[in-house]
Amino acid sequence: MVRLKNYAFRSTISSIMEFSLKKLILVSNDDGINSEGIKALARALKRVGDVFVAAPDREQSAVSHSLTLHRPLRVEQLAPAAYAVDGTPTDCINIAVNGILKKRPDLVVSGINKGGNMGDDVTYSGTVSAAIEGTLFGIPSFAVSLVSRENFDFTIAARFAARLARFILKNGLPKDTLLNVNVPEGNDIQGYRITKQGKRIYGDAVIEKVDPRGKKYYWIGGDMLRWEGGKDTDFEAIANNFISITPVHLDMTNHAALKELHKWKL
Ligand code: MN
């Protein structure tokens, strides 16, 4: 009888410990809550911790780090731990962390984006911005994108995200730093590389056309196939079939330029 009681007691203690040790992972994206990429990501991360999804109710790609301040934001609970927000990825992280969640997340993961976020594109990316917002809250965060134009099989990217999540939950990240992860398409991935942000060469990125009523219109975007600053960049890693992991620092000060500017006599 006593033994049984003890056993029950022990198992209660261990289940409480297990509960409190389970990490909370906040997942968002910019492709919208119904995109395949976020579903694959959430599924993979459920093996690592408790997953809570707060994502835009529609595509918000290239909205960058915008925050909605001039209208109310509505949320729709689609599942016990999944909320669609009629706002930007940054709004989603804000609402989840400061509004919906009772516990602070241990990790923020954003993606898996349909298409790469490399080089200068990082500054436009809503996917990366969700991770920026997490980092601003002091929560370790990373963004994952699948570099592809047509074949969107998220299996490998999701598996790698889970592996990385487990590692970060255990080891943390450098201060004020998020990881921007890009995964090449296909099954022939050679491993991963720690990279720096490359520089994209914009070709004829603005297309001028005339609409059926004779008025000019412009379309931003064009093909991005070239980059510079080759060695050890995100672009180079992807071109060689490696997963690219770029540490991104939120302090945008150009520390090397500080010295130069101090010499100025204006
Ligand atoms: Mn996107």
pLDDT at position 4 over 50: no
Beta strands in 80-215 (DSSP E): 82-85, 107-114, 141-147, 177-184, 192-194, 199-200, 206-210
- The per-residue pLDDT for 184 is 97
Cα 23 to middle of ligand 1, angstroms: 26
CA dist., res. 31 & res. 26, Å (int): 16
The tally of domains found in the chain comes to: 1
Cα 256 to middle of ligand 1, angstroms: 32
- The per-residue pLDDT for 2 is 45
pLDDT in tens, 69-80: 999 999 999 999
Cα 160 to middle of ligand 1, angstroms: 19
pLDDT band (50, 70, 90) for residue 181:
very high
The CATH number of whichever domain residue 155 belongs to comes to 3.40.1210.10
pLDDT at position 253 over 70: yes
State percent of the chain over pLDDT 70: 90
146-151: average pLDDT: 92
- The per-residue pLDDT for 1 is 42
2 within domain boundaries: no
- The parent domain of residue 139 ranges over 24-199+227-261
CB 245 within 8 A of CB 192: yes
156 within domain boundaries: yes
Residue carrying structure tokens 């001039």 = 70
Selected residue with higher pLDDT from 151 and 127: 127
Cα 122 to middle of ligand 1, angstroms: 11
- The per-residue pLDDT for 221 is 73
Cα 59 to middle of ligand 1, angstroms: 7
Q: Nearest to residue 99, comparing CAs of 40, 57, 61, 52?
A: 52
Beta-carbon neighbours within 5 Å of ion ligand 1:
30-31, 61, 113
Residue carrying structure tokens 């389970």 = 22
- The per-residue pLDDT for 100 is 97
159-188: average pLDDT: 97
76 within domain boundaries: yes
140 within domain boundaries: yes
214 within domain boundaries: no
90 within domain boundaries: yes
Cα 60 to middle of ligand 1, angstroms: 7
75-103: average pLDDT: 97
**For residue 225, what are the CA distances in angstroms to 30, 157, 222?**
23, 22, 10
Cα 208 to middle of ligand 1, angstroms: 24
219 within domain boundaries: no
Rg (CA), the chain: 21
Cα 47 to middle of ligand 1, angstroms: 24
49 within domain boundaries: yes
pTM: predicted TM-score of the whole model, two decimal places? 0.89
Cα 224 to middle of ligand 1, angstroms: 16
From 112-121, 139-148, 197-206, the region with the lowest mean pLDDT: 197-206
- The per-residue pLDDT for 20 is 54
Cα 30 to middle of ligand 1, angstroms: 5
pLDDT in tens, 12-43: 555 555 455 799 999 999 999 999 999 999 99
Cα 112 to middle of ligand 1, angstroms: 8
pLDDT at position 11 over 70: no
Helix (H) or strand (E) holding 16: helix 2-21
